[in-house]
Structure 1
Amino acid sequence: MLKLGDLDHERKLRTKLGVSFFLFGLINNVLYVIILSAALDLVPPSTPKGIIAFCNIFPALVAKIGWPYVLKGQIRYTSRLSGCCMLAVSGMVVVALFNSLFMRLLGISLASFASGLGELTFLQLSTTYPPGVAAHGIGYFASGTGAAGLVGAFLWWELRGLGVRTGVGLSAVMPFVIPLTYLFFLPRRDLFTSEEDTSLRAPYTPLPASDVRTEESAATAPVPSEAMIVALSLDDKWRLVKPMLVRYMLPLFCVYTFEYTINQGVAPTLLYPVPSPDTYPILSKIIHSIRDYYPLWQLVYQTTVFLSRSSISFGIPPLPRRLLPLPSIIQFFILVTLGLEAAKGIFGDSEGRSVAFVFSLISLEGICGGLAYVNVYHQINQERSNPGVHAERDKQEREFKIGSVGFADSLGILLASILAVPTEVGLCRAQVRRGKTLCQGL
């Protein structure tokens, strides 16, 4: 039994671990949000803004698809995170220093690749901790990624007045938080000594030292030969991926496809007349022109995503595995319903009811997206290998499994960016046909 002092010590360690993973999620994703928020300022007016979205997601998708399948053997976390930091900083500096479209797109691509590689690395890092501690880390990492939407949009709102060069240049210092947190604040996994974790600590003894950071210190610490010979083959990786395709990847892919089709294709057409102060005293303080509706929907979405991604860290029980497809099913019906509202107008000329209706569905959209993300990774993190599996092999299998799923959400976002263009055009034309021409005035 643990003594009271041990429990206090364990609680403090969990707090530090939670803060560390929250910062990892926040800083890793905040540059992605800043780039999207700054899209209008980064490219000439004649350039389609979708090219920013493409360069901001495709390199991350490449990292998430390629890295888990190409990498063999142990993950060198310190080297990888340092590389992610340098890539992100370099990308933002390039965006800040150069005015040409090509160079800015190159900088955005570098930052995107760093973000994608960083996300899968932090998810893999969580698996190196015992199950209860790992779940704690995943919950706070997901919460941090949700907070990035709000923090990134707010930061660019404050920095945009300084201009692209100064605003983006200042944001380039943010990635340094990641290696500093990892090296000097994140607790070592061998410090967690609760009864829950004791039986699970044995598999990590073959590592060169108890600190996860020493995995890559081959020059200063001897590596046991049994750890050096373990490396997953492509056949091993396919065997691990196969059962996760339908169980985890398909729900994540679907929920993000529907979610970002709503955000990029449907939400820009959810426009209504500017509310009168006499009829709608509260709404009129928020909406001053029809251009204010889209930022409002995005604020509602980002807020609910943050809250739902924080559900596990708030102490809300995770979804059972059998219910993981539920958020994507609900998201599909939200997409269809909002599409009908944009095209036909469910409530006719009653903008008050229409705005309240859209507000509710956008909130539910954010909740479904956040729940899908945090629960899929939570369930993967809690899976255990069969007894008797070699300790280093067990570790590499868990790292690969959680890292191999990440491309599903990025692929969904990429597909949604393609679907969104004809969706927005088609809905706008449907509105014009019924005499509603607000979408043409943007």
Structure 2
Amino acid sequence: MAGYAGSWRRLSDSEGEETAPEPQPRLLDRRGAHWKNAVGFWLLGLCNNFSYVVMLSAAHDILSHQRAPGNQSQVEPGPTPVPRNGSSRFDCNSVSTAAVLLADILPTFLIKLLAPLGLHLLPYSPRVLVSGACAAGSFVLVAFSHSVTTSLCGVVLASISSGLGEVTFLSLTAFYPRAVISWWSSGTGGAGLLGALSYLGLTQAGLSPQHTLLSMLGIPALLLASYFLLLTSPAPPQSGREEEAETAARQPLINNEVSESKPGYGTSLSLHERWTVFKSLLHYIVPLVLIYFAEYFINQGLFELLYFRNTSLSHAQQYRWYQMLYQAGVFASRSSLHCCRIRFTWALALLQCLNLGFLLADVWFSFLPSIYLIFLIILYEGLLGGAAYVNTFHNIALETSDKHREFAMEASCISDTLGISLSGVLALPLHDFLCQLP
């Protein structure tokens, strides 16, 4: 199946022979469709990752049993944070924030692991509806939760929403010009920045964590509106008549027509073909796994332990600032594809692993004198992670054929999730070990 832009060009050329007097309206239609799709994919990236980011930003509050009668947050059952060891030099919650990370990533990991095997049998629209419903349910469940266990169930819903949505929308990019990958990536970066910043800003302004979460229920609605009302149909028109072409250009994605014209699955890729494509992607998948392992080991294993007592910020506020600065770096680099393209992503993986080693050494020896140095390092960490994500998927889109691109995007989604899952598993025992040190 040829690219979407190519289909429009061929349509325009053939119509030019028959209806030469009216080329300008057709050009305007194509430009309008381009910008609708660009904005649509940006909003889909924003909305899809928003709940995931907010749950990580709220991790410290979730584990501290934050409650909100009115606009005043109070902590149950005791003061926050609860030290695991009274003589420890670290100010620890009784459970590592990596527990929230695992709840926020393991369902996503399972979805992405199984997606290449059969998710293509389910049309896109039901997937998007399930994703939106799970995102809304996560905000409501965590907001009204009275226990860590219930809150973690809400985090699991956010994970299902984000994982299912990422697999769905990255696969959908196979039917549009490759430029939409940049818009999608920028939107996911925007989700990180706006999600972390909105949670930080609203709680700093005095709004309780509960009311902050409930105020974000408009995001799942925006996800559904962006998909059903904004994206144009990627299927080429079946007739040369102008009315049918215009109808196809404006038709929301509310039916199965994408599934029926898939470039990869429409030709039934064999298991051997899928394995061959997957092996060809390993030189991109492995560096992305390492990058995400290193940065989420930092984020959920070390952030809580990088606590400075000589500042006006409380422990919870410092944690929220760390999350916000990390997401700011991710947003900047995920939006940088038009001005900076990186082919050798293994170099980014090496730099991120050096970041991990440096911050782990600081947690152990406490040699950095100021929290502002940590702020700069965390911003740099986010820049590396975002650049790795957008360049990896852009390179994959360039190097795979139309027939294999949808499967390649689906299969590569496992990279970041695998790295994050491994980091969460290892961060839990590290937290327990460090918090028991005198």
- Give the TM-score range, shorter chain: 0.7 to 0.9
Distance change in 2, residues 1:359/1:35 (3 Å): closer
Residue of structure 2 equivalent to 1:29: 49
Identity fraction in percent:
32
How many residues matched?
377
Residues 93-143 of structure 1: CA distance to partner in whole angstroms, max 9, x if unpaired? Answer: 3434553554443332122112101011111111111xxx22x21111111
Residues 322-361 of structure 1: CA distance to partner in whole angstroms, max 9, x if unpaired? Answer: x1111101111111122223333556xxx25xx4543433
Out of 290, 295, 299, which is 1:254 matched to?
Answer: 290
Is 1:362 aligned to residue 404 of structure 2? Answer: no
Q: Which amino acid aligns with 1:254?
A: L
Residue of structure 2 equivalent to 1:13: 33
Deviation at 1:428, TM superposition (A): 6.5
Deviation at 1:256, TM superposition (A): 0.5
| 2:101 and 2:300 in contact (8 A); partners too | no
Q: Which range is displaced more, 120-129 or 61-70? A: 61-70
Is 1:115 aligned to residue 115 of structure 2? Answer: no
Q: Which amino acid aligns with 2:418?
A: L
Residue of structure 1 equivalent to 2:425: 418
Aligned-partner Cα distance in 2 for 1:227–1:363:
38
Residue of structure 2 equivalent to 1:319: 342
Q: Which amino acid aligns with 1:367?
A: L
Residue of structure 1 equivalent to 2:127: 80
Aligned-partner Cα distance in 1 for 2:305–2:208:
29
Deviation at 1:409, TM superposition (A): 0.8
Residues 412-436 of structure 1: CA distance to partner in whole angstroms, max 9, x if unpaired? Answer: 1111122223445666778x6xxxx
Residue of structure 2 equivalent to 1:300: 325
Is 1:243 aligned to residue 243 of structure 2? Answer: no
Residue of structure 1 equivalent to 2:406: 399
Distance change in 2, residues 1:68/1:338 (3 Å): same
Residue of structure 2 equivalent to 1:383: 399
- What CA RMSD, in Å, does the superposition of the two structures yield over aligned residues? 3.5
Aligned-partner Cα distance in 2 for 1:269–1:301:
16
Residue of structure 2 equivalent to 1:144: 187
Aligned-partner Cα distance in 1 for 2:209–2:313:
26
Q: What are the residue-to-residue correspondences of 1:94-243 with 2, within 5 Å?
A: 94-97=141-144, 99=146, 101-129=148-176, 133-134=177-178, 136-157=179-200, 163=208, 166-189=211-234, 213=253, 216=256, 230-243=267-280
Provide the TM-score with structure 2 as the length reference. Answer: 0.74
Residues 165-190 of structure 1: CA distance to partner in whole angstroms, max 9, x if unpaired? Answer: 54434423421212211222113336
Residue of structure 1 equivalent to 2:362: 341
Aligned-partner Cα distance in 1 for 2:209–2:309:
33
Q: Which amino acid aligns with 2:137?
A: S
Provide the TM-score with structure 1 as the length reference. Answer: 0.74
Aligned-partner Cα distance in 2 for 1:121–1:176:
17
Deviation at 1:9, TM superposition (A): 5.0
Q: Which amino acid aligns with 1:92?
A: F
| 1:78 and 1:179 in contact (8 A); partners too | no
Aligned-partner Cα distance in 1 for 2:154–2:307:
34
Residue of structure 2 equivalent to 1:205: none
Residues 13-49 of structure 1: CA distance to partner in whole angstroms, max 9, x if unpaired? Answer: 3332221111111111111122223334445367624
Residue of structure 2 equivalent to 1:265: 301
Aligned-partner Cα distance in 2 for 1:159–1:289:
16
Aligned-partner Cα distance in 2 for 1:106–1:289:
27
| 2:228 and 2:254 in contact (8 A); partners too | no
